[in-house]
Structure 1
Amino acid sequence: MPASPSTARAINDRLALRLLQQEGSLTAGQLKQLTGLSRPTIADLVERLTASGLIAVVGEAGEQRRGPNAKLYGIVADRAHLAALDVRTEGVSVVVSDLLGKALAEASVPIGGDTGTGPAVEQAVALVERTAKEAGADRLHTVGIGAPGLIDPATGELRDSSGLPAWHRRLVAALQERLPEARVIVENETNLAALAEQRDGAARDRETFVLLWLGHGTGAAVVLDGALRRGASGGTGEIGFLPVPGTEGLPSATDCEGGFHSLAGSAAIAGLALEYGVPLAARGPEPMAAGLVRAAVETVQAGPGGARPDRPGAPGDRADRFLDVLADRLAIGAASVVAVLDPGCVVLGGEIGQAGGAVLAGRVGERLRRMSPLVTEVRAGVLGGGAVLRGALLTARDHAQDELFAPPER
């Protein structure tokens, strides 16, 4: 059955807007060429989108050209403002952007473990309001939040989860109350990191992959055939609870100690580095575990100052053995995921995955080749901890554009 005129207009409008988003400003002639639509259809489309305030003339294609085809059209970036939050156990980071995702203002605030729930929520909400004001945003259209823990697939809400501060769950409701006109969306941090690495990072050429999150805690995000898989209860990828050898016990339903988290969480990595005498090379606000991994990689890469078989106590040798043992640990978790899903690609994400770079990824990949018959490429994430904030912003932008780019019913 052929599409109705209103449906056809909606499809054409959305196609043109997506092209303007991807390609930047275009002339009517370029839109015609890229869409394959007729000249009259393009003219109507441009007039309709201009009248709706979604696009505007932003320049001309050439000084010598005249007429409608010479005008360059672009999306009106300040048609809507968006906010993205990365909610961590120890604080919150915020970025406010325009409709195209250009960052206009950024800020963060630490929130100590002894801060009460009410004050913690107020600090986080006030940070969002201040950042929006700094960005010149009178109102926020959509707010994307990345948080650790389980997201209920039925309600989209952050579920009560062991170890999470109470203010995490209160924050979503508080933001919705203080920003009643905004749409507030919450998603698991690892899922958002995978989205960011797929759009802008290490997995841009992959439709199927697993992101192994290595930050304060551990987690995994599963992308199959281009779609993020969340599972029946929203818990796909809770790899921190995976029972593994090498721990002193088993995890429980309320505590991941004894699971993969006990081998690969930041505290476990810091303890392993201490055992092997890896020195910390501080670099700004970098988390300690990531700094230790980076220091070990830099020591091994230092050439003559690296591993010395004739001097097993040398710093390079200790760093080399530390990275080997860490790779052994990471390969245990990665091999379990590979055996079940056969993703073909594992991305080591988070601050620790980025700090380990190709050196750590190569060692994990080497172990996977010995442990599994399934061919699996291991890559280092390139966005690090910033992937969560980037993924939250991409999610907010997608939701806002889906709403704004949908023409009203006629």
Structure 2
Amino acid sequence: MLGRDFSRLWSAAAVSSVGDGVTIAAAPLLAAQLTDDPRLIGGVSVAFTAPFVLFGIPAGLLVDRVDIRRAMVRVDVARAVLLAVLTLGILGGWGGLPLLYVCMFLLGLGEVFARNAAQVLVPFITPEAGLATANARVMAAQEAGSGFLGPLVGALLFSVAVALPFGVDAATFLCSALLVSRIRRSRPVTPRPDTGGVLPEMLAGARWLWRHHLLRSLALLSCVINIAGSAMLAVLVVHSERVLHLSAFGYGVMLSCQAVGAVLASRIAPALTARLGREGALVATATLIGTSEAVLALVPSAYAAGSALAIFACGTVTWNVVVVVLRQTLVPRHLLGRANSVYRLIAWGGLPVGAAAGGIVAAEAGTPTVFGVGAAVMAVMAVGLLYGARRQWITRAAHPDHDVHGPGGAPQQRDAEEHRDAEEIR
């Protein structure tokens, strides 16, 4: 139903996500082998997520200007080369924390572009009626690879040889590049009008997104979720060693439990959204994420931690399915890359903040405190979303003909102004 081009994109996402999972498991283990300071171990997550803040908007402009398919191939090849260098550094004895931080930073930079480009490409190779299903399948493949198979393989390979996981990840990026190169359709590359330079082009996407009340609000909420989630994941390896007393392979098994929730979400997210509405689905996801953090904080059991990670992944994937489809359908096609990049700048900006905060709090008060704070934050968010759901804030913003008020009490007139602004930017 979704076509061969989507199948190739899905396969590329699945293969590279397995490699991502391998590195996600191996990089903290390598850092923990080099230091026992939670702040330095959390620095691995900070290094990987910092490019989301620093280069989000330029990456979006680049996505709007280039042939997406060719650019994705080049980025995958570059990441393969980078991981090969890290592998050689570990084998040669010069692969310490500085090299690991640099490599994770550059891998994060590639991820900023690749994720944005893939989301922009999906509407051009998939029928609009299949967008929810297509996005759910891509996210499930990414979570199953990075959250299940990858961590298991990564932890196992790390126990065999420290450098091996990073070499395997390099190979997965080469496979992904080959699959993407076989996609036949892509977004047409059209000449850009003279807008006065790069800065006005970047600001066009930022201005459009910021004037759209719904997407602006969702970006800010996503930022809060990412702060809580990133803090949790950044100190999880410390929690597994000091509280749960797991081995490196046990840590990988625990991480892999996320895939159970991700696969479940890929199956139920479209139906859940249809049943509860988009507002109700987001309330449910915030509740699931908060529950997962509470379980980690209160129950010092590996089985409970695995279940919590499954719940966490189910919530995050469902949230992403809802908000990604909204962006793909509401943002003008020619601004999609830039608007996506601004959204990611706001949403993913919480990742390095959360990772750094998680490491600091864990060092001072222990890992359960990190999870407890995250649970409290998500509980407050769930209450706020429930209030917004009763006022149909997403339906009102997505369909301005509805004469209802949003959670901020702004009238229908504001939505009409937003749509006029969008037309002006076009």
Which of the five TM-score ranges fits, normalised by the shorter chain? under 0.3
Higher strand share: 1
- Structure with higher Rg: it is 1
Higher relative contact order (CA 8 A, sep 6+): 2
Looking at secondary structure, tell me which structure has more helix per residue.
2
TM-score, normalising length: structure 2: 0.22
